[in-house]
Amino acid sequence: MPLAITESADLSALNSFGVAARARRLITLTDEADAPEAIDQLQSAPASLLLGAGSNLLFTRDVDGTVLKVSLAGRRVLDAIDGGRLGNAQVLVEAAAGEPWHDFVLWTLAQGLSGLENLALIPGSVGAAPVQNIGAYGVELSEHLHSVRALSLDDGRPCEFAAADCGLGYRDSRFRSSAGPSRWLILSVRFALSRKPRPRLHYPDLQTAFPPTAPPPSPLDIAHAVCAIRRRKLPNPAELGNAGSFFRNPVVDAIHAARLTANHPGLPVYRDPATPQLAKLPAGWLIEQCGWKGARRGDAGVHTQHALVLVNYGRARGSDIAALAADIQASVIERFGVRLEPEVVFV
Ligand SMILES: Cc1cc2nc3c(=O)[nH]c(=O)nc-3n(C[C@H](O)[C@H](O)[C@H](O)COP(=O)(O)OP(=O)(O)OC[C@H]3O[C@@H](n4cnc5c(N)ncnc54)[C@H](O)[C@@H]3O)c2cc1C
């Protein structure tokens, strides 16, 4: 089958901000056998981009090159493989990169497998999940990632990365290079899940939903609670364009954090016992203190309930949202001496 190619493609429905942008060429990859040919096409284009569901991207202008939309489908349980090393209660599952993340999570729960329930309703595709090591409600993908199968964008070479080789960190991985776009096309991802649930309820919203005195919830109960909390708290991109948290929570050295809390006693500080010399600060709190919550400039704005979520009220351009983000960064530096790094990928 020839590759599905669209010239001068409209990308506005392919990004959750809903901003207008076009690509010189859009290739939709639905069959893994076509991946080498798709990579050839990317190599011959001056600028190229891998696209999942577009829920963590900001198009600041048109793409003068090729966009490869990864729409590979398929998921399966691989019980027997690796069973010895993982132990009896652990099960390997695999999903193709284009599978919608939330559907995949629900499917794992329907197989009686737990581990991903706290990550329910995160928008996007399976293939992008390792790219920024998605996380929510006290769980990160890294805790359940087994391996990633990918092709090199440089020479088409296949590679399987064990989780330990994926460079996973807080909203970070080797597939999200700060030096430039990732050089790997992720084809499929494997997860190590469990038949014995281990509820992770330490996150405050989940403690409220499931008080310690109540019987332990099932993984599906937890997923439903997470969905309800997310629907209550986060704007739905289908109704209000956004890409979730726009910035990462900044990590500063402990001395800087101590100075900040002396001047701003209300500042929440998160410490990890494993790295006592560092402290994580809530980006949303810093932005809110600078007066940005609910701010609006034309159709680009800061959500009224969440200072960390930038929104498109309708016709904002990506460059409008980027300019707003730059002004937010400048005021947080001026007031707190802290640089906010975008979580969203600028294109
Ligand atoms: C309302 C909302 C809530 C959100 N909440 C959370 C949250 O709680 N936690 C969280 O971590 N994130 C959250 N996000 C961000 C987003 O859902 C995740 O980053 C998600 O993994 C992005 O998936 P995607 O398919 O949309 O990726 P895209 O936005 O399409 O791409 C993101 C990056 O991954 C690369 N990429 C995509 N597919 C591939 C592939 N197959 N191979 C190699 N590289 C690829 C792209 O080139 C790009 O650099 C939220 C977003 C929204 C809109």
Q: For ligand 1, atom 36, name the residue with the nearest CA.
A: 128
331 ligand 1 Cβ < 6 A: no
Distance CA 226, CA 208 (A): 12
Euclidean distance between the first and final Cα of the chain, in Å?
30
306 CA → ligand 1 middle, Å = 19
Cβ neighbour number for residue 344 with a 10 Å cutoff: 23
Task: Count Cα atoms within 13 angstroms, Cβ side, for 102.
Answer: 13
Q: For ligand 1, atom 1, name the residue with the nearest CA.
A: 244
228 CA → ligand 1 middle, Å = 21
DSSP code, position 259: H
Residues that are catalytic: 171, 245, 343
> In testing the pocket of ligand 1, which one of 55, 173, 205 has its CB within 8 Å of the most ligand atoms?
55
Distance CA 232, CA 222 (A): 15
Q: Tell me which of 100-104, 167-171, 291-295, 310-314 is least confident.
A: 167-171
Q: pTM to 2 decimals?
A: 0.94
Q: What percent of the chain has pLDDT over 70?
A: 95
Q: Tell me which of 30-44, 50-64, 106-120 is least confident.
A: 30-44
Which atom, in ligand 1's list, is nearest to the CA of 186?
A: 42
Helices 101-110 and 219-233, interaxial angle, to 10°?
Answer: 160
According to the model, what pLDDT value does residue 274 have? 82
Q: For ligand 1, atom 15, name the residue with the nearest CA.
A: 56
What pLDDT, in 10s, does the model give residues 264-297? 988 998 888 888 899 999 999 999 999 999 999 9
337 CA → ligand 1 middle, Å = 28
The arithmetic mean of pLDDT across residues 245-251, rounded, is 95
Q: Which residues of 4-34 are buried (b: 16+ CB within 10 A; e: fewer)?
A: eeeeebebeebbbbbbebbbbbbbbbeebeb
> In testing the pocket of ligand 1, which one of 117, 122, 205, 308 has its CB within 8 Å of the most ligand atoms?
122
Asked if 145 and 168 touch (Cβ cutoff 8 Å), the reply is: yes
23 ligand 1 Cβ < 6 A: no
Which atom, in ligand 1's list, is nearest to the CA of 50?
A: 47
Collapsed DSSP state (helix, strand, coil) of residue 331: helix
Beta strands in 184-281 (DSSP E): 184-194, 241-245, 251-253, 278-280
The residues near 164 (Cβ < 8 Å, ≥ 6 apart) are none
186 ligand 1 Cβ < 6 A: yes
According to the model, what pLDDT value does residue 41 have? 87
Confidence of residue 114 (pLDDT cuts 50, 70, 90): very high
According to the model, what pLDDT value does residue 179 have? 47
What pLDDT, in 10s, does the model give residues 177-213? 654 556 899 999 999 999 999 999 999 999 999 998 8
Asked if 96 and 75 touch (Cβ cutoff 8 Å), the reply is: yes
35 ligand 1 Cβ < 6 A: no
Write the single-letter amino acid at 335. R
According to the model, what pLDDT value does residue 328 have? 97
According to the model, what pLDDT value does residue 87 have? 55
171 CA → ligand 1 middle, Å = 10
Which atom, in ligand 1's list, is nearest to the CA of 150?
A: 42
What pLDDT, in 10s, does the model give residues 68-97? 999 999 999 997 555 455 555 789 999 999
Residues in the chain, total? 347
